[in-house]
Structure 1
Amino acid sequence: MIVVDRLTKRYRNLLAVDDVSFSCHPGQVVGFLGPNGAGKSTTLRILTGLTPPSAGTATIGGYLYRDIPNPAVQVGTLLDASAFHSGRSARETLRLSGQIMGLPPERADQLLDLVGLTPGESRRRVANYSLGMRQRLGVANALLGDPSVLILDEPVNGLDPAGIHWMRGVLRGFADAGGTVLLSSHLLHEIELIADYIVVIGQGRVMAQGPKESLAGVPGSQVRSTDDAALVSALAAAGLRCRPSTEGGVYVESSTEEVGAVAAASAIVLTELRSAGTGNLERMYLQLTAGAQRGPAAGPPGVPYPAGPNPPGPGMGHPRGVA
């Protein structure tokens, strides 16, 4: 479990982080959102022991990062994918990390396979890697010690659509197995798809936080069929609200399971069916961050997004040391 409690960081005349509080529970993916300069990276650096706070605390499993024995096997981090030694290969990088953690050499090869770096790619120097390949290596390094907590700063930067889909599956699977994920990202659609809880920060302060459904609404479904008119009629008869989608096809304010059941009962052939975001997260984010840029208020008038501390939620235990 991650707990950030009244965290503050001042650099002379700059207040980078201002009384920030939130927490991340086992089984959760927490999306950490904010514009450039909002204080996200500073918060993550404090949490991982790289920057000392001016006030407040940031703990993992009740401990400061520096007090966790062999922290890399408890907490996996990716704060900068360009920080790897450019003259080493991916395999050398992971084997050195594993040696420091006390892991067998073959663990490096297991993780290279997991993140999709081929044997040929793993022997290439990191200097010749694309940003997307460095991100995959960074995720491999974060997962190397089989941690119970992941702290990732913009991990999908540079990834192609297939890589983003892969990353989403890795993080969702990690949380569903009882892990804790704190994920900073500018890709609001990805956060809306994967996050359970969202924290929005602006000018160093928490502008809003809460379960995804309370901030972004329940995601609907994007669907296409061989007869969209008949599909719309069937959905309406079943009491499901729908409208033409800006992507083509139909947007339905319901789960993919319900939409699929209606189509099957009506013998309508579907050519596309997937979960879709609501768009509310983007609107909320733009409102709040625009308010933060205009001044230090907690948000523009009339926007009912609370900025209180994260209430305890139903978390899943994790078999490893830190939760």
Structure 2
Amino acid sequence: MILVEHLTKRYGSTVAVDDVSFACHPGQVVGFLGPNGAGKSTTLRMLTGLTPITSGRATVGGHDYRDIPNPAVQVGTLLDASAFHDGRTALETLRLSASTMGLPTSRVRRMLDVVGLTGDESTRRIGNYSLGMRQRLGVAVALLGDPAVLILDEPVNGLDPAGIHWMRGVLRGFADAGGTVLLSSHLLHEIELIADHIVVIGHGRIIAQGTTESLSGAPGTHVASTDDAALAATLAAAGLVCRPDRDGGIHVECEPGEVGAAVAGTSIVLTELRKAGTGNLERMYLELTAGAQRGAGGLA
């Protein structure tokens, strides 16, 4: 479990993080969102003992990170994929990490397989890696010690769509197995797909937090057609509770499959059918962080 309590960081008269509190529980992926300069990275660096805390406390499993013996086997971190030594290979990097953690070298090959770095890629100098390959190596290092907690800062940067899909599966599988994941990302759609809980920070302060469902919008289904009046009547006749959606179309309090079954025998042509809430996280995020976005003032 990760617990952040009234965490504050000041640099002189500048307050980078201001009284931030949130929790991440086992079995959860928590998405940590906010504009550039909002305080996300500073919060993660304080949590992992890299930046001194001005006031408040941040603990992992009830302990300050610096007090955890051999922390990498309990907390896997990826805060900067560009920090690896360019002259080393991935294989050398993982072997050194395993040696430092007191782990058998058999873990190295296993992690290379998990993150999809081939034998040829693992012996290539990291200076020749793409950002996406560095991210995969970073995840391998984070998972090497078989930790119970992962703390990741923008881990999908530089990944192609297949790589993003792979990352989603790794993190979701880790949480479903009882792990705790704190994930910072600018890819709101990915956060909406993977996160159980979301924390939004702006100007160093928490401006919203809650379940992904509660922040993204009401559960259910969004549907639209070439004749929404006939669609609404058909859905109501099938006993489904529905209402006009604020963005057009109809919101139905059921799963998409039930909507499809209700209209299957009609001549109604559906133009949209999806789970409600999908895409709404972006709207919520932009509304909440409007004053904290760079360039928010517009043109003079």
Query: What TM-score, normalized to structure 2?
Result: 0.84
Could you say what secondary structure the match of 2:155 adopts? coil
Alpha-carbon contact 1:236-1:242 (below 8 Å) kept: no
Q: Post-superposition shift, 1:212?
A: 1.3
Counterpart CA distance in 2 for 1:261 and 1:96 is: 54
User: Which has the greater radius of gyration?
Assistant: 2
Counterpart CA distance in 2 for 1:228 and 1:169 is: 36
Alpha-carbon contact 1:203-1:293 (below 8 Å) kept: no
Alignment of structure 1 residues 1-323 onto 2, 5 Å: 1-218=1-218, 238=238, 239=240, 258-260=255-257, 263=260, 266=264, 277-292=277-292
Q: Post-superposition shift, 1:35?
A: 0.3
Offset from partner CA, 1:171-192 (integer Å, 9 cap, x none): 1111111111000011111111
Go from structure 1 to structure 2 and tell me whether the alpha carbon gap of 1:20 and 1:262 turns closer, same or farther (over 3 Å shift).
Answer: closer
Alpha-carbon contact 2:36-2:293 (below 8 Å) kept: no
Q: Which stretch of structure 1 is more off in the superposition, 38-47 or 116-125?
A: 116-125
Q: Counterpart of 1:133 in structure 2: which amino acid? A: M
Alpha-carbon contact 1:126-1:134 (below 8 Å) kept: yes
Go from structure 1 to structure 2 and tell me whether the alpha carbon gap of 1:121 and 1:207 turns closer, same or farther (over 3 Å shift).
Answer: same
Could you say what secondary structure the match of 1:58 adopts? strand
Q: Post-superposition shift, 1:14?
A: 1.4
Alpha-carbon contact 1:38-1:202 (below 8 Å) kept: yes
Go from structure 1 to structure 2 and tell me whether the alpha carbon gap of 1:293 and 1:281 turns closer, same or farther (over 3 Å shift).
Answer: same
Q: Counterpart of 1:64 in structure 2: which amino acid? A: D
Go from structure 1 to structure 2 and tell me whether the alpha carbon gap of 1:135 and 1:273 turns closer, same or farther (over 3 Å shift).
Answer: farther
Alpha-carbon contact 2:213-2:277 (below 8 Å) kept: no
Unmatched tracts of structure 2, length 5 or more: 267-271, 295-300
Q: Counterpart of 2:114 in structure 1: which amino acid? A: L
Map of 1:312 onto structure 2 = none
Go from structure 1 to structure 2 and tell me whether the alpha carbon gap of 1:101 and 1:215 turns closer, same or farther (over 3 Å shift).
Answer: same
Identity %: 74
Map of 1:321 onto structure 2 = none
Could you say what secondary structure the match of 1:19 adopts? strand
Go from structure 1 to structure 2 and tell me whether the alpha carbon gap of 1:194 and 1:56 turns closer, same or farther (over 3 Å shift).
Answer: same
Q: Counterpart of 1:194 in structure 2: which amino acid? A: I
Q: Counterpart of 1:280 in structure 2: which amino acid? A: N
Q: Counterpart of 2:208 in structure 1: which amino acid? A: A
Q: Counterpart of 2:120 in structure 1: which amino acid? A: G
Name the count of aligned residue pairs. 284
Q: Post-superposition shift, 1:274?
A: 7.4
Query: What TM-score, normalized to structure 1?
Result: 0.78
Q: Counterpart of 2:285 in structure 1: which amino acid? A: Y
Go from structure 1 to structure 2 and tell me whether the alpha carbon gap of 1:108 and 1:287 turns closer, same or farther (over 3 Å shift).
Answer: same
Q: Counterpart of 1:52 in structure 2: which amino acid? A: P
Counterpart CA distance in 1 for 2:152 and 2:251 is: 32
Q: Counterpart of 1:141 in structure 2: which amino acid? A: V
Q: Post-superposition shift, 1:280?
A: 2.4
Q: Which stretch of structure 1 is more off in the superposition, 207-216 or 39-48?
A: 207-216
CA RMSD of aligned residues (A): 3.1
Q: Post-superposition shift, 1:222?
A: 8.6
Could you say what secondary structure the match of 2:41 adopts? helix
Q: Counterpart of 1:32 in structure 2: which amino acid? A: F
